[in-house]
Amino acid sequence: MKAVLLDGFGGPEVLKIAETHKPMPSEEQVLIKVAATSVNRPDIVQREGNYPPPKGDSEIPGLEVAGIIEEVGPGVTAYKCGDRVMSLVGGGGYAQYAVAYAGHLIPIPDTMSFESAACVCESYITAFLNIFMIGGFKDGQVVLAHGGGGGVNTAAIQLCRKLAPNGRILVTASPGKIERVRKLGVDLVINYQEEDFAEEVRAFTGKKGADVILDHIGANYLAPNMKALAVGGTLVIIGIMSGAKAELNLALMMVKRQRIIGSVLRSRSVQEKQEIVAQFTRTVMPVFSDGSIEPVIYRTYPLDDVAEAHRTMEQSKHFGKIVLTLD
C-alpha cells in the first residue's frame, strides 16, 4: 500500500510517500480502506522525533481515519465489510489502509462526508474528554480555551456551545483569527499577543475566574493560567509547546482548592479509549447526525502533499482542521 513514512526525524521534508506492507487486523480489529485522515499537532511532534507511537502501534503518522471496512477480525461482530466508519488509531492514519480496534470505531452518519468524518475523532474526542469528562464543565460555568483557530479549539467551542448552551466561552487567539473565532459563538476573544489574558478573564468574570481551562501551551502559561482559574477550578494541560517545566505557587493553589490535570489521549489503554469513545458516541454523535455541528475544515490536501500540509500547520495559517485525502 501507499503510505507516508519518516525518512529520519526533522522538518516536513522527512515525510516521504512510499510503498509498505498492508497491515493485518488482529482478532479484535478491523482493516479500514482509508478515504481521509487529518493532520494533528502530535503528528508534527512525532515527525520531529519527540512523540513515538505507543508500543505495538504503527510507526506511520496519523491518529484518526475515516473510510470503509475492508476486513474484520474473527472476534469482531458489531461491524461488517463495507461499513462506513471513523476511528482513533495509535498510528498509521497516513496510509491507504489502517487497522483499528472495533471498540474505537464510530459509524459515519449518512449525511457526513469522509472529509468531515476524518476531523472528528482526535479533535472532538480530545475536547470532549478534557473539558467535560475530566474538567467537569457544566452549563452555566466559564471555560477558557487556548488555541485560537486550531482543530481542538474550534471543536471545543462548538461542543461547549451545544452541550452547555448557558456556559460562557473565553478564547485566546492571535489578531488575525479573532473575528473568525468570535463568529463561532464565543463570549470573549482575547488577543494574547497584546493583552494579559489572566487579567481579561478576571475582569470578564468579576474576578471569579474560569471554572475550566484547556491549555496546550504548557510552561509559559502555567502562572497566568492559575491566576485566571477560579476557586475550585480545573486546569487541564494537553500540550507543552512552550516547555515542560515551570514554577508553581503551591500555597495559593491549596487555598483556592484548584486542580491541575495532565492528559494525553494517545497513550491510554485500548479499554480506556473504548470507554471514552462509547461515551462520546452516546453524547456527541447525535449532534453530528442532525447537522447541529459541522467540523471546520481549513483545507484539504491529497496525501502526496502531506509535507505542505505540515508546513501549513507549523506556520499557523490554518483555521480549523487540515485534511488529507486518498484515492
pLDDT tens, residue by residue, 213-239? 999 999 999 999 999 999 999 999 999
Same domain, 87 and 186: no
**pLDDT class of 173 with cuts at 50, 70, 90:** very high
186-219 pLDDT, tens digit per residue, is 999 999 999 999 999 999 999 999 999 999 999 9
284-303 average pLDDT score: 96
Question: Does one domain contain both 105 and 29?
Answer: yes
| Domain final residue pick, 231, 262, 293 | 262
Is there a single domain that holds both residue 180 and residue 276? no
**Pairing of the two strands 15-19 and 2-6:** antiparallel
* Residues 73, 29 contacting (CB under 8 angstroms): yes
Q: Residue 149: which pLDDT band, with cuts at 50, 70 and 90?
A: confident
In order of 52, 91, 227, the CA distances from 6 in angstroms are 12, 13, 41
Residues 195 and 289 in one domain: no
Q: How does pLDDT run across 22-55, given as a tens digit for each residue? A: 999 999 999 999 999 999 999 999 999 999 999 9
User: For residues 148 and 172, what is the distance between their CA atoms, to the nearest angstrom?
Assistant: 6
Q: Is it the case that residue 294 has pLDDT exceeding 90?
A: yes
Residue 281 to residue 50: CA distance in whole angstroms:
31
Q: Which of 228, 262, 296 finishes a domain?
A: 262
Q: Please report, for the chain, how many H helices and E strands are present, in that order.
A: 11, 15
The end-to-end CA distance of the chain, in Å, is 12
Residues 151, 99 share a domain: no
The label of the residue with cell 480530545 reads 126
Same domain, 46 and 66: yes
Summarize the confidence of residues 57-66 as an average pLDDT. 97
pLDDT at 301 over 90: yes
| pLDDT for position 116 | 97
Provide the strand spans (E) within the chain.
2-6, 15-19, 29-39, 64-72, 84-88, 97-101, 105-107, 142-146, 168-173, 188-191, 210-215, 229-237, 259-262, 297-302, 321-325
pLDDT for position 210? 98
Q: Which of 220, 238, 262 is the last residue of a domain?
A: 262
| 207 and 312 assigned to the same domain | no
**In the predicted model, what is the mean pLDDT of the chain?**
96
pLDDT band (50, 70, 90) for residue 317: confident
Residue 229 sits in a domain whose CATH number is 3.40.50.720
CATH number for 281: 3.90.180.10
Spacing of C-alpha 248 from chain mean position: 27
Do 67 and 104 have their domain in common?
yes
pLDDT tens profile 86-113:
999 999 999 999 999 999 999 999 999 9
Q: pLDDT class for 327, splitting at 50, 70, 90?
A: confident
What pLDDT score does 314 carry? 95
Rounded average pLDDT over 293-304: 97
Q: Are residues 248 and 138 in the same domain?
A: yes
Judgement on whether residues 154 and 243 belong to the same structural domain of the protein: yes
How far apart, in whole angstroms, are the C-alpha atoms of residue 5 and residue 95?
A: 9
Q: How many domains does the chain have?
A: 2
Same domain for 131 and 102, yes or no, is no
Show the domain range for 91.
2-119+266-325
Helix (H, G, I), strand (E, B) or coil at 314: helix
Percent of the chain with pLDDT over 90: 97
Of the candidates 294, 287, 276, 270, the one whose C-alpha atom is nearest the C-alpha of residue 117 is 294
Across 151-177, average pLDDT: 96
Task: Tell me which DSSP letter residue 5 carries.
Answer: E
Q: Are residues 96 and 128 in the same domain?
A: no
Structure-block grid coordinates of residue 290 = 442532525
With vertex at residue 13, the alpha carbon angle to CA 48 and CA 120, rounded to the nearest 5 degrees, is: 65
